[in-house]
Structure 1
Amino acid sequence: MCSLCGVLGGSGHWTDAAARPGIFTRNVDSPQRRRERAHRIACASRVLAYYGLTLSDWQASSFVLSTATGKTELVEDLGHLWAAAERLLGRPCDPLDPDLIVRLEGSGLHD
């Protein structure tokens, strides 16, 4: 997408809420939208913990990705998460790593 379209299109990302009742609730029910965002953060955090990373919300507009040693990066949306994780760690991070999936399934923390 060109820069102008990005500016005019707003900050919405496909990982954010969409206007479909029962699926996501963009600008309809603020408490529900916050719950959905918190749930997405919790799901991503389960995966990121495997790599020693944490994810937190930043003013409901971005995310803060952090290493155990305190390095942090502001992530605009979940679409930029894995690239940021790899930059912080200096190595590849595969959310579909078979060992990670086995660990998530064994912990009962998968959704």
Structure 2
Amino acid sequence: MCGLCGAFGAPDHWSDGVARGIPPEAERRARASAANRVLGLYGLRLAAWGGRYTLSGRTGRSAVIDHLGALWPAAERLAGRPCDPLDPAILDALEAR
């Protein structure tokens, strides 16, 4: 679905908890930044957009993600391979940075 249609009435998810004193959009941007450390290793990028997230790949393909619970299945579809943030090779690459 397009981003505009997806902007109406998405259900709440536990990962969208609100930190005290931080605007929700700033919190979403911080979550996207943290996720991008892993997603970048798969050639993907997550951006906070309109109360949701936009996941995009190097080829221009993208997906609108309602919440972080839907992130990894969408990442695997866009990357065309399994995306495991706990893979020892990924963890080693993150530590090397």
Q: Which bracket does the TM-score occupy, shorter chain normalised? A: 0.7 to 0.9
Give the equivalent residue in structure 2 for 1:74.
64
Give the equivalent residue in structure 2 for 1:96.
86
Relative contact order, higher structure (CA 8 A, sep 6+): 2
In the alignment, structure 1 residue 40 sits paired with structure 2 residue 28: no
1:104, distance to aligned residue in structure 2 (A)? 0.9
- Runs of 4+ in structure 1 off by over 4 angstroms are none
In the alignment, structure 1 residue 87 sits paired with structure 2 residue 87: no
In the alignment, structure 1 residue 52 sits paired with structure 2 residue 43: yes
SS of the residue 1:74 aligns to: strand
- Give the TM-score normalised by structure 2: 0.81
CA RMSD of aligned residues (A): 1.6
Identity of aligned residues (%): 44
The amino acid across from 1:64 in the alignment is: T
Distance (Å, rounded) in 2 between the aligned partners of 1:41 and 1:34 = 10
Gapped runs of 5+ residues in structure 1? 1-9, 19-23
The amino acid across from 1:13 in the alignment is: H
Tell me the matched-pair count: 88
